[in-house]
Structure 1
Amino acid sequence: MTVGNDAGMSARLKGRRRAVNALLVDVEQWADEYDGVKALALVGSYARGAERMASDLDLMILADDANALANEDWFVRLRPDARFIRAANWGPVRERRFRLRSGLLVELNFASESWADVPLDAGTRRVLEDGHRILYDTGPLRVAASAVGIDR
């Protein structure tokens, strides 16, 4: 999955985009290899193609056991330079935020498959409508997005 078009973009932002694309490839591969992951989506400004240097990279991960994945071990193995910043809980979503040596903030959001149950709750709808790109899916995100006409 490649993020956006580089035309008219600063060299710094082009470099950031290359780093994001490499990270997305690694996270997609991890999701494909980890049996418990049901779906992975890029959400927010990178999904919309509206990122700036200050933008964070937001990923939504649906899993059989979201709480078990909401630790830093697997992500730090993918990006050893990642520094854990904070943990927060937003209803059914477990957020884990990291900063990479490059300065990129990566927000990992974990929830069970029920996060994408139709009809969507207001929070899920808002996240998907704000921009999303499905990177890996065994079914729940495509059904949710297409059921409400926001399949992007």
Structure 2
Amino acid sequence: MTVAQGAAASHYDKASEEHEVSGWAVGFTLFAGIMMVMAGGFHAFSGLVALFQNEFYVATRNYLFQFDATTWGWIHLLVGILVMVAGFAIMAGQTWARVVGIILAVLSAIANFTFIPYYPFWALTIIAVDIFVIWALAVHGRDVKDVMT
């Protein structure tokens, strides 16, 4: 190993050891965890509405993903509970929660995309929250673990 290679390797080791945690990155990730808990609660609540008040949601005709309100209720209730649990785990700094959170946010966005004809404004709002959560966890999710440990 040459002197230049040794200096470069030494510099690389110090840079990886001295990883500075950005306050913004931690804030974005914690905000994503909080948004997951809130979005999960909203999912669960809209699922309960669909289960107890079948006539609340009215679907458009001839839609490809046309399920009855009870099916949508169970989908939203189960996805909501899973998203809430993952949101709490992200706020606790669990490493596995980043991957699970991203997967659940993608599933939540897909479920809400197929739910657009039933409640368009709400579905689009939750899709926007899911996109932010995916971005925050993919880009800054590692930094919360560094702060929590």
Fold agreement, TM-score > 0.5 = no
- TM-score, normalised by the number of residues in structure 2: 0.31
More strand as a share of residues: 1
- TM-score, normalised by the number of residues in structure 1: 0.31
Higher relative contact order (CA 8 A, sep 6+): 2
More helix as a share of residues: 2
